[in-house]
Structure 1
Amino acid sequence: MCGIFGIWHQDGRPVDLVTVQRALTTLRHRGPDDEGYLLVNTRTGQAVSCGGRDTDSRLMLPSAKEFRSETFDLVLGSRRLAIIDVSPAGHQPMVDGASGLVVTHNGEIYNYVELRAELERYGHHFRSNSDTEVLLAAYKKWGSDCLRYLNGMFAFAIWDERRQELFAARDRFGEKPFYYHYDPERAFFIFASEIKALLASGLISRKPNYKTIYRYLAYREIDAGSETVFEGVSALPPAHALKYSRAQGTLRVWRYWDLNPEAEIRLSSDAAYAERFLQLLTDAVHIRLRADVPVGSSLSGGLDSSTIVCLIAKELRGSTQKTFSARFHDPRYDEGKYIRKVIEWANVEGHIVYPDPARLPEEIETLTWHQEQPFFSTSIYAQWCVMRLAKEQGVTVLLDGQGGDETLVGYHLYFGPYFRDLFLRLRWTALMKVLHNYVREHGLAYLPIIAFTFLPQSLRHPIRKHIRPLAIAPELEQAGQSDARLFLPHNFKSALQAALYETLTCTVLPALLRYADRNSMAFSREVRLPFLDHRLVEFLFAIPNDQKLRGTTTKFVLRNAIQGLVPEGIRLRRDKLGFEPPEVGWMRGPLRTWIDEILHSSRFCQRGWLDPKVVERVWRGFLAGRDKLHSLIWRWISLEIWARVFLDNIRNVVFPEGEV
C-alpha cells in the first residue's frame, strides 16, 4: 500500500522539485515507511533515483534536494507502506534497468505468487519478493494486456522510456484511488493517490464542481464516473486505464474490463452453486492473507464480515486472529450479541470501540481532510474509529466484508427491481406473496424507496429531475440540472441485474470504497475485500437471480455455502440489511448544538448553495420528530465542513497537523 504521485511536462519545462516534495508530503499517512523519487529528463534520457527524509537509509540514495537546480520534465514519487517484502528491495519508484521501465504502485497484486512463477517460466529473474516487481515484469512481458492477468486492488503508473509514454491503470472496482489533471494547452499531466496532493502542488485551483455538489445534495450521488467535487480534478474510473504519450500528444482513457450481462452460469443444484461459491470465496480470502505484517479483520456482526472472520480462522488453523468492531450504546443499533457469537465461535481475539459522538465535532475536520469529498453518513466516523483501534493494536492489514451487499443483494433497494421482474414476467401471485412477507419482516418504512426503484430507469430520471430537492438554491440547481442523466452501458437480462450493476459501478460501491480507503490510510492501515475478487463477482453476476434473492431471503447462495462455518444465529439472520449507526439520536442529542451552530453560521448561510429559510424549516421538522430528514441534514453538514476545510482553508490543506 502506498501513495503515488507524478507529473510530466511534455513541452520540456522543468518540474519544480519543491512542489513535488510538498505534494508527496501530503500523502505521508499512506506510506510512512519509505519515500522515493525518480527524476527524468525525457529529452536526454537522464534518470536519477533519489530520496527524502523518510527514505530507508540502507538504500544510500541522494536527497532530492540536491537536484533542485537541474532540469527534469518528468517526476514520479512514492510513499510506501511496506506490506509485502518489507526490505529495501521493495523501494519505489521501482526501476527495471534492462528496459528502462519505472513503476510507482499503490495497492496489492494478490496473485503475485502465481504470476511470478509464470513469468519465471518465460525467463524473467526477480531480485525481490515484492508484488510491485511482479507487476513491472508483467507489463514488460504483456504491455497493457497485463491488466487481464492481475487479481488485486491497485492504482499504478508506469513510465516507458523507450515508447516515451506514461501508462496508468486502476483496479476493476476502484478499491484504490487515482486522480489526475490534464492540461492539453500547457502540455502537462499530473496524478496522485489523493486530491490533496494535486492541490498541494499549487498547479490546480481549489474551485468547487457545482454539478457534482448538486448531485451529492439532490440524489446522494458522488464518486460516480470521472468527476469530483473539484473542478479540473478527474478520477480515473474503476476498470479504466490511460496513456499519455509524446507521439500522440494527447491523453487516451479506456475501459479494460467490464461485467458481461450476457454471461450465464447454470449448475445442477443449489448445492452446486454453493460449493462453487465457497471455493471462490475461500481462495479470495487465501490470497488476501498474503502479507509480511500482522493481518486481522473487521467484524460488524453481519453475515458478510462474520463469514470472512470464520474463513480466516479456518485458514490460519490455530493462529490467533484479531478482530475489530464498532458497537453502540443504543441497543437498537448495537450488534454486540452477534459480534460476541462470532468471537466465541471462531476463537478470535476481539477488540471493541464505542464511537463517541461527542468527539465527532473535534475530529470532523481531520476526517474530512482525509476523505477529501463530502460523505453521506456518520457511519464513516464509526469506521474511522475502527481503523484507529487497529493501529493501536498493531494490525496493519484488515480483511473486510465490504462488497457482499452489492454482489449478493444485501440492500432494501434491490427489492424494487426484483418485484418489477416478477411483475413483468406475470408472476403476480408470487409477487403478492413476496411483498406480503417483506412487509411482515421489515414493515412499511422502506416501501417508498422500493416503489421508486420498481420503476424503470427511463422513468426514474425524469421523476427525480422534476421533484425539486429540498433547500437547494436555484443557482446551484441550474448548474446541476445541466448534467446528463446516467446511462447504463448494457441491456440487462433483468431489472435486478441492472440494479446490481448500477450499485457496483455507479451509485453505492464507489463511495463506500473511497470511505474505506481514506479511513484506513489515515491510520496507515490496509483494507482488503475478498467479496470483490473479480472471479467471484463475475460468478455471482452470471448465476440466476434466485441464487442471490429467493423470496425475501437475501444472499441465498452465501447462506447455503456457509452452513457449519458460521453460527446458525448469524447465517439465518434476516434483520440486517446494511450498516447504520444511531445517527438520529446523535443528531438530536450530543451533536444538536454543534449542528445548530453550523446551520445558523454566516458562512453556511452565505455560501449560496442552500436556502437558509428552508434549511431552518427542515431542521426544526427533524427536531420535532421527522426522523427521515436526518440523512438530508447530514449531507448539508458534511458539505459545509468540506467547504471550510478545502475552500475556506480553515485547515492547512498542504500540511495539516500531524502530517509532517
Structure 2
Amino acid sequence: MCRIFGSLSPAPARPDPAELAAVAARQRHGGPDGHRVLRGPGWALGCDRLAVTDPGGGGRPHRLAHLPGITAVLNGQIHNHTALRRELAARGHRFPDHCDGTLLPALYAEHGPDFARRLDGMFAVAVLDLRAEPRLVLAVDALGIKPLHYHHGADGTFRFASEIPALLAFDGVRTAPREDSLDTVLCLRTPVSARTALEGIGLLPPGATALVRPGRAPVVRRRPPGGQEGAPQAAGGDGGRDVQDLLRGEVRRLAPADVPVCTLTSGGLASGLVTALAAEYARETGAPAPHSFHLALRGRWPGAEQSRARQVARRTRAVHHEVTLDPAELPSLLTRTTRHLGQPDADPAALTAYALFRAARQAGYTVALTGDGADELFGGPARLQAAASAPTGADWAASYADTLGAVPRLLRQWLYTPAYRAYLADEGSAADRVAHELRSCPDGDRRAAVTAFETRWRLPAGPLRRADHLGMAWAVEARMPFCRPAVAARALAPAGPHDRRVLHGAARELLPQAVALRARQPSAPPLAALIAPGGPLLDPVRELLSPERLARAGRVRPERVGALLARQLERPSEGDALALWALAAHELWTEVVRGLRVPLDCAA
C-alpha cells in the first residue's frame, strides 16, 4: 500500500526535485515507511510506501535489473502476486524479494498495456516505459477502490497523484472549483463521475487503463470484464449459503498479512459478518482472536449502535474496542476530513470514519477489514427497490436521482439565486445527468441500470473513497471482502440476488438475531441533534453559512439559507440538518482549496 505520483512531459528538462518533494509531502501520511523519487528528462515517478507485504523488501519504485527502461509504482495490494511470480519466473524473470509490486515490470514486459487484466486485487498502478518513445501506462482496479487523479496541462505535461492535494502541489497544475460543484454536492452529496469538482482534474474511472505519450492527451479505455479481475458467475442454490461461502473465502484471503490486522464494526449486518468470519478463521488457524473497533459519540445520542456492536463481539468472541469520541472534537475533524478527501462530501459518516481509523492505527493496526460495499452490491438502499418497482410511465430515473440528494429538488430551486438557476438550466444539473444516464440503459432494465450506476460510480465515490482517503490519512489499509471480484460478481450476476435478504441468510447462523435480521440502519452521526441548539456542529455550520460568505459566492440566497437554519433551530429535523450540512461542506471545501493555494479563477 502506498501513495504514488509522477509526470510525463514533452519538455526534456528534469522535473524540479523541490517540487516533487512538495508533492510527496502532501500524501506522506499514507506512506510513512519509505519515500523515493526517480526522475529523468521529461519524467518523474515517486512513491511513499506503507509497508504491508514483505515490509523488509520491496524497493520502490519497482525496477528489475534485467528489464532496464521499465519502472513501476503501485498503490494497493495484488492478491495473486505469488501465482504471478511463479508464472513469470518460469518465463525467466528473477525477483529480489516477495513484495507484490516487484513483479509489475516483468508482467508489463510480457503483456504490455493489457497487464492489468492479469491482476487480482485493489490497485492503482503506473508503469513508465522508456525503451522506445516514452510512455506512461496507468491502471486502476475494477471497482475503483484505489483512486488515481490526473491533470493534463496546457504545456502538454501529464501529472498524476493518489490524492488531489498532492496533485495541486505540482507547479503546473492550474485549476479552480467547477461552477456546478455546489449543485453536484446538493444533488449527489459528492461528485460521482470521472469529472472531479475541480476544473481540469480527472479521476481514472473504475476498471480503466490510460495510455499517455509526451505532449498528448491521455487515451482512457475501460478494460473488458474477465481475466483475473473476475467475471459474473451464475447464481444457484441457497443464496445465503452461497454468499456466506464466498465471503468466508475472501476473508481468509484478506485476513493474513505481514502486519497487525483488525476489523471495524458499526453494529450492522455487513461489518458483523466480516468480523464473524475473521473470528472463525482465527479459531481454525490457531491465531489470536481478532480485535474489533467500534466508534461511539460520548453521551446519549439517537441511533447509537454500541449495544449491537458489543453483541457482535460477544457472539464472535472478538476482542472489542469501544472508541468514544468527544462530540466537541467534531468541528476540528470536519476540516481534516475535508482536506484528506480532496473533493466536497456531504456525508457526515466521514467524520466518524476518520476517527475510527485513527483509533485503529493508534492501537497498532495497519490493516482493517470492513463491510464497505455491501449496500451498493446487494441492493440495501430502498432507492434501488423503488426504482425497480415504479409504475410504467413514471419517470423512475428522475425519482431515483432525487433520492440521492442531500437537498430535495424543490428546496434546491428555492435556495438557488436566479443567476445560478439560469446557469443550471443551460448546463444541466447533476441530477439531470444521472437520470439521463439511467434512461439510456440497454433494454430498459431499471434494476441493471441502477445497480450499474451504484457500483460503477456511487460506490467508489462514497464508501470506497472514504475508506481509502481516510484510512490512509492514518496509514491504515482498508480491506473490503464485499468488494472482492467473486463476491461482487455473485451480487451482479443476471440471476443474482440483488437483495439484502441474502445477507440476512448468510448471517443467520453467525450473528445475534437482532443483528442478522435487522433492517439497514444509517451509520452516519445524528445530524439533527448535532446541528441543534447547543449541538457541537451548530457554530461551525452557522459560520460557514454566514450571509457575507454566501453573498460573495452568489449561488444561494443568504436570506433563504438563514430561514432554513432558523427552522432547524426551532424544529430540528434530519432533512433540514442534511441540507445545511451539504451547504456547509461545500463552503468548507472551497476554503480548504484556497489553503492549498489553488488559483481560484472562478472562486466559490
Query: Which shows bigger deviation, 520-529 or 556-565?
Result: 556-565
Instruction: Read off the aligned partner of 2:192 and give its amino acid letter.
Output: A
Query: Which shows bigger deviation, 11-20 or 486-495?
Result: 486-495
Q: Give the Cα–Cα distance (whole angstroms) in 1 for the partners of residues 510 and 477 of structure 2.
A: 26
| Match in the other structure for 1:362 | 332
Q: Give the Cα–Cα distance (whole angstroms) in 2 for the partners of residues 652 and 351 of structure 1.
A: 40
Q: Give the Cα–Cα distance (whole angstroms) in 1 for the partners of residues 597 and 400 of structure 2.
A: 41
Aligned to 1:90, the other structure's residue is in SS state coil
Superposed CA offset, 1:302-325 (max 9, x none): 110000001111112241211111
Change (3 A) 1:213 1:320: same
TM-score (norm 1): 0.82
Instruction: Read off the aligned partner of 1:323 and give its amino acid letter.
Output: S
| Match in the other structure for 2:529 | 585
Instruction: Read off the aligned partner of 2:185 and give its amino acid letter.
Output: Y
The answer to whether the Cα contact below 8 Å between 2:10 and 2:157 also exists between their aligned partners in 1 is yes
Aligned to 2:165, the other structure's residue is in SS state helix
Change (3 A) 1:476 1:32: farther
Change (3 A) 1:241 1:305: same
Change (3 A) 1:559 1:292: same
| Match in the other structure for 1:232 | 200
The answer to whether the Cα contact below 8 Å between 1:110 and 1:290 also exists between their aligned partners in 2 is no
The answer to whether the Cα contact below 8 Å between 2:373 and 2:459 also exists between their aligned partners in 1 is no
The answer to whether the Cα contact below 8 Å between 2:8 and 2:159 also exists between their aligned partners in 1 is yes
Query: Which shows bigger deviation, 186-195 or 196-205?
Result: 196-205
Aligned to 2:197, the other structure's residue is in SS state coil
Q: What are structure 2's unaligned runs of at least 5 residues?
A: 600-604
| Residue 490 of structure 1, CA deviation | 4.0
Query: Which shows bigger deviation, 291-300 or 578-587?
Result: 578-587
Q: What are structure 1's unaligned runs of at least 5 residues?
A: 42-72, 425-451, 550-554, 655-660
Mapped pair 1:292 → 2:254: no
Q: Give the Cα–Cα distance (whole angstroms) in 2 for the partners of residues 376 and 117 of structure 1.
A: 46
Q: Give the Cα–Cα distance (whole angstroms) in 1 for the partners of residues 312 and 503 of structure 2.
A: 17
| Residue 199 of structure 1, CA deviation | 1.2
| Match in the other structure for 1:612 | 558
| Match in the other structure for 1:485 | 433
2:123 to 143, 147, 154: 154
Instruction: Read off the aligned partner of 1:152 and give its amino acid letter.
Output: G
The answer to whether the Cα contact below 8 Å between 1:36 and 1:93 also exists between their aligned partners in 2 is yes
1:497-576 pair list within 5 angstroms:
497-544=448-495, 547-549=497-499, 555-574=500-519, 576=520
The answer to whether the Cα contact below 8 Å between 1:301 and 1:339 also exists between their aligned partners in 2 is yes
| Match in the other structure for 2:25 | 25
Change (3 A) 1:581 1:467: closer
1:641-660 pair list within 5 angstroms:
641-647=588-594, 649=595
| Match in the other structure for 1:253 | 220
The answer to whether the Cα contact below 8 Å between 1:111 and 1:287 also exists between their aligned partners in 2 is no
Q: Give the Cα–Cα distance (whole angstroms) in 2 for the partners of residues 82 and 347 of structure 1.
A: 29
| Residue 472 of structure 1, CA deviation | 2.3
Q: Give the Cα–Cα distance (whole angstroms) in 2 for the partners of residues 154 and 478 of structure 1.
A: 41
The answer to whether the Cα contact below 8 Å between 1:212 and 1:227 also exists between their aligned partners in 2 is no
Q: Give the Cα–Cα distance (whole angstroms) in 2 for the partners of residues 171 and 113 of structure 1.
A: 18
The answer to whether the Cα contact below 8 Å between 1:5 and 1:76 also exists between their aligned partners in 2 is yes
Change (3 A) 1:236 1:637: same
Q: Give the Cα–Cα distance (whole angstroms) in 1 for the partners of residues 460 and 210 of structure 2.
A: 22
TM-score (norm 2): 0.89
Query: Quick check: which has more Rg, 1 or 2?
Result: 1
The answer to whether the Cα contact below 8 Å between 1:405 and 1:578 also exists between their aligned partners in 2 is no
| Match in the other structure for 2:282 | 316
The answer to whether the Cα contact below 8 Å between 2:387 and 2:397 also exists between their aligned partners in 1 is no
Aligned to 2:180, the other structure's residue is in SS state helix
| Match in the other structure for 2:78 | 109
The answer to whether the Cα contact below 8 Å between 1:208 and 1:229 also exists between their aligned partners in 2 is yes
Q: Give the Cα–Cα distance (whole angstroms) in 2 for the partners of residues 468 and 25 of structure 1.
A: 39
| Match in the other structure for 1:60 | none
| Match in the other structure for 1:456 | 396
1:79 to 48, 58, 64: 48
Change (3 A) 1:82 1:295: same
| Residue 96 of structure 1, CA deviation | 2.1
| Residue 561 of structure 1, CA deviation | 2.8
The answer to whether the Cα contact below 8 Å between 2:547 and 2:558 also exists between their aligned partners in 1 is no
Q: Give the Cα–Cα distance (whole angstroms) in 2 for the partners of residues 393 and 129 of structure 1.
A: 27
Change (3 A) 1:593 1:188: closer
The answer to whether the Cα contact below 8 Å between 2:265 and 2:292 also exists between their aligned partners in 1 is yes
The answer to whether the Cα contact below 8 Å between 1:242 and 1:252 also exists between their aligned partners in 2 is yes
Q: Give the Cα–Cα distance (whole angstroms) in 2 for the partners of residues 126 and 222 of structure 1.
A: 42
Q: Give the Cα–Cα distance (whole angstroms) in 1 for the partners of residues 592 and 23 of structure 2.
A: 17
| Residue 652 of structure 1, CA deviation | 7.4
Instruction: Read off the aligned partner of 2:169 and give its amino acid letter.
Output: A
Instruction: Read off the aligned partner of 2:590 and give its amino acid letter.
Output: A
| Residue 507 of structure 1, CA deviation | 3.4
| Match in the other structure for 1:410 | 380
The answer to whether the Cα contact below 8 Å between 1:173 and 1:510 also exists between their aligned partners in 2 is no
| Residue 141 of structure 1, CA deviation | 2.0
Instruction: Read off the aligned partner of 1:307 and give its amino acid letter.
Output: L
The answer to whether the Cα contact below 8 Å between 1:410 and 1:577 also exists between their aligned partners in 2 is no
| Match in the other structure for 1:639 | 586
Mapped pair 1:213 → 2:153: no
| Residue 94 of structure 1, CA deviation | 0.9
Change (3 A) 1:533 1:138: same
| Residue 596 of structure 1, CA deviation | 2.2
RMSD of aligned alpha carbons: 2.7
The answer to whether the Cα contact below 8 Å between 2:175 and 2:201 also exists between their aligned partners in 1 is no
Q: Give the Cα–Cα distance (whole angstroms) in 2 for the partners of residues 460 and 570 of structure 1.
A: 28
Q: Give the Cα–Cα distance (whole angstroms) in 1 for the partners of residues 515 and 400 of structure 2.
A: 35
1:350 to 320, 323, 330: 320
Aligned to 1:234, the other structure's residue is in SS state strand
Q: Give the Cα–Cα distance (whole angstroms) in 1 for the partners of residues 300 and 330 of structure 2.
A: 17
| Match in the other structure for 1:303 | 269
Q: Give the Cα–Cα distance (whole angstroms) in 1 for the partners of residues 15 and 591 of structure 2.
A: 30
| Residue 37 of structure 1, CA deviation | 1.0
Superposed CA offset, 1:74-97 (max 9, x none): 11111001000111x312111122
Aligned to 2:45, the other structure's residue is in SS state strand
Q: Give the Cα–Cα distance (whole angstroms) in 1 for the partners of residues 170 and 367 of structure 2.
A: 30
Change (3 A) 1:479 1:137: farther
| Match in the other structure for 1:280 | 246
Q: Give the Cα–Cα distance (whole angstroms) in 2 for the partners of residues 265 and 470 of structure 1.
A: 48
Task: Quote the sequence identity (%).
Answer: 27
| Residue 476 of structure 1, CA deviation | 3.6
| Residue 114 of structure 1, CA deviation | 2.7
The answer to whether the Cα contact below 8 Å between 1:333 and 1:580 also exists between their aligned partners in 2 is no
Superposed CA offset, 1:35-94 (max 9, x none): 0011123xxxxxxxxxxxxxxxxxxxxxxxxxxxxxxx111111001000111x312111
Change (3 A) 1:86 1:111: same
| Residue 365 of structure 1, CA deviation | 2.0
2:296 to 311, 327, 350: 327
Aligned to 1:469, the other structure's residue is in SS state helix
Change (3 A) 1:121 1:277: farther
| Residue 458 of structure 1, CA deviation | 6.5
1:181 to 151, 154, 176: 151
1:39-78 pair list within 5 angstroms:
39-41=39-41, 73-78=42-47
Change (3 A) 1:332 1:468: closer
Instruction: Read off the aligned partner of 2:516 and give its amino acid letter.
Output: R
* Residue correspondences, number: 576
Instruction: Read off the aligned partner of 1:251 and give its amino acid letter.
Output: P
| Match in the other structure for 1:598 | 544
Mapped pair 1:222 → 2:190: yes
